[in-house]
Structure 1
Amino acid sequence: METEAVPVERVRLETEERTDEATVRGDVRKKRIETDVSDETGVADETGQSDR
């Protein structure tokens, strides 16, 4: 039986958290999507509202 020593590399990573606030201006578009799903399914519509 043989034993082999293998070097192991350990790496540590530190991240910096950054939060920014900005005022943006511009036109906002709203899009309505039509589907073929029946209203009786209880599936939420495009606004996230459930019909049940």
Structure 2
Amino acid sequence: EHVFADQKSQTGLFVRTVGISRATMRIGLANIVYNMRRLLFLERLNASA
């Protein structure tokens, strides 16, 4: 899906961390960043309409 492809392009091909908690945190932060970028895109789209 496009969501996962976007996150992969932002964070690189692999999550290179030691420990499951760090990997979980990194994936969670990538999700937050994607959601914030998507929100800004939709707000700009709505503001121009």
* TM, length-normalised to structure 2: 0.20
Larger Rg: 1
TM-score w.r.t. structure 1 length? 0.19
- The structure richer in helix per residue is 2
